[in-house]
């Protein structure tokens, strides 16, 4: 008797984030940033060879190993999602007069146009495209604007606040960069995989210009505002495909 591999649909995903409260998190994933400027100083933003479930959490990465894929994988589709807080307005901690409301729009709709993408298996670069081409593949589509009222305390502003829940491209799960069947990228077990985002000079300069990120304000009973939690700006790369795994709970004769 011997065990036999079976094929099953499986997505691999990994996330890079910019969040100013990173130092306060119990789990601090490798390759994350506390400021936009720090990300802008990086020449490459790597995925799938920096993090795993243990050092990032299953919310942000579902790889069990960091440097090798544990089973054969047939890569069929690639998605890249730039996501940001839907409440784009942020306050700087300790300074309620400083408001930032451009970050979400720039992050989700402008910056993705200025990143290149390389997909590699071991040292072989198998795909080079622009980050806008794959599309987000899933997520909310609604957005709009709201108006805050002046509470008369001098800190609550009577100016428009942006509410946004979008992402680059049309977030339909059918969208993405699809490798033409049957010419998928076949990845053997124990191979090293990586997806690398490469910011253009424009993207790096833009990130280095952006201050923050700051905090999302919540109103409390004293009307002086609360600045927690920190605003979270993320990039998630998802590779959809078929993996070969041992069939569970049953042995088969060859």
Looking from the CA of 94 toward its CB, the CA atoms found within 13 Å total: 0
Q: Report how far residue 5's alpha carbon sits from residue 50's, in angstroms, rounded to the nearest whole number.
A: 28
Asked if the model's pLDDT at residue 158 lies above 50, the reply is no
Q: Report how far residue 71's alpha carbon sits from residue 187's, in angstroms, rounded to the nearest whole number.
A: 9
Say what percent of the chain tops pLDDT 70: 74
- Burial class from Cβ neighbours inside 10 Å (0-12, 13-18, 19+) for residue 110 reads middle
Q: Report how far residue 230's alpha carbon sits from residue 64's, in angstroms, rounded to the nearest whole number.
A: 28
- Residue indicated by tokens 């609360």: 226
Element (H, E) at 206: helix 201-209
Indicate the domain borders of the chain: 5-246
Of residues 36 and 244, the one with the higher pLDDT is 36
Q: Report how far residue 162's alpha carbon sits from residue 23's, in angstroms, rounded to the nearest whole number.
A: 28
Of residues 14 and 104, the one with the higher pLDDT is 14
End-to-end CA distance of the chain: 7
Q: Report how far residue 68's alpha carbon sits from residue 125's, in angstroms, rounded to the nearest whole number.
A: 16
Token digits for 111?
A: 């910056």
Asked if the model's pLDDT at residue 131 lies above 70, the reply is yes
Contact call for residues 77 and 241 (beta carbons, < 8 A): yes
pLDDT tens sequence across 32-82: 999 999 999 999 999 999 999 999 999 999 998 877 888 999 999 999 999
Q: Report how far residue 65's alpha carbon sits from residue 131's, in angstroms, rounded to the nearest whole number.
A: 25
Asked if the model's pLDDT at residue 246 lies above 80, the reply is no
Report the b/e string of 4-17 with b at 16+ CB within 10 A.
Answer: eeeeeebebbbbbb
- Please give the model's pTM, rounded to 2 decimal places: 0.83
In the prediction, which pLDDT does 50 show?
A: 92
Q: Report how far residue 156's alpha carbon sits from residue 154's, in angstroms, rounded to the nearest whole number.
A: 6
Of residues 222 and 69, the one with the higher pLDDT is 69
- Burial class from Cβ neighbours inside 10 Å (0-12, 13-18, 19+) for residue 109 reads middle
Of residues 86 and 9, the one with the higher pLDDT is 9
In the prediction, which pLDDT does 120 show?
A: 94
Q: What is the mean pLDDT of the chain?
A: 80
pLDDT tens sequence across 164-221: 555 665 556 677 888 876 778 899 999 999 999 999 999 999 999 998 898 887 666 5
Asked if the model's pLDDT at residue 138 lies above 90, the reply is no
């Amino acid at each position: 008797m011997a065990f036999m591999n079976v094929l099953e649909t499986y997505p691999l995903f990994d996330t890079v984030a910019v969040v100013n409260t990173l130092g306060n998190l119990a789990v601090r994933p490798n390759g994350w940033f506390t400021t936009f400027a720090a990300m802008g100083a990086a020449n490459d933003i790597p995925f799938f060879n920096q993090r795993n479930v243990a050092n990032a959490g299953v919310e942000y990465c579902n790889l069990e190993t960091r440097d090798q894929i544990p089973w054969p994988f047939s890569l069929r589709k690639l998605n890249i999602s730039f996501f940001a807080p839907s409440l784009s307005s942020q306050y700087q901690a300790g300074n309620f007069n400083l408001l930032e409301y451009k970050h979400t729009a720039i992050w989700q709709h402008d910056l993705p146009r200025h990143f290149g993408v390389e997909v590699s298996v071991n040292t072989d670069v198998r795909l080079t495209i622009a980050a806008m081409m794959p599309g987000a593949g899933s997520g909310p589509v609604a957005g709009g604007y709201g108006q805050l009222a002046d509470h008369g305390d001098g800190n609550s502003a009577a100016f428009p606040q942006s509410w946004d829940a979008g992402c680059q491209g049309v977030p339909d799960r059918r969208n993405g960069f699809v490798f033409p069947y049957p010419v998928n990228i076949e990845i053997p077990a124990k191979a090293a995989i990586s997806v690398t985002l490469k910011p253009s000079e424009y993207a790096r300069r833009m990130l280095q210009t952006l201050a923050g990120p700051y905090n999302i304000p919540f109103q409390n009973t004293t009307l002086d505002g609360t600045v927690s939690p920190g605003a979270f700006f993320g990039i998630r790369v998802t590779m959809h495909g078929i993996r070969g795994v041992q069939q569970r709970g049953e042995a088969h004769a060859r």
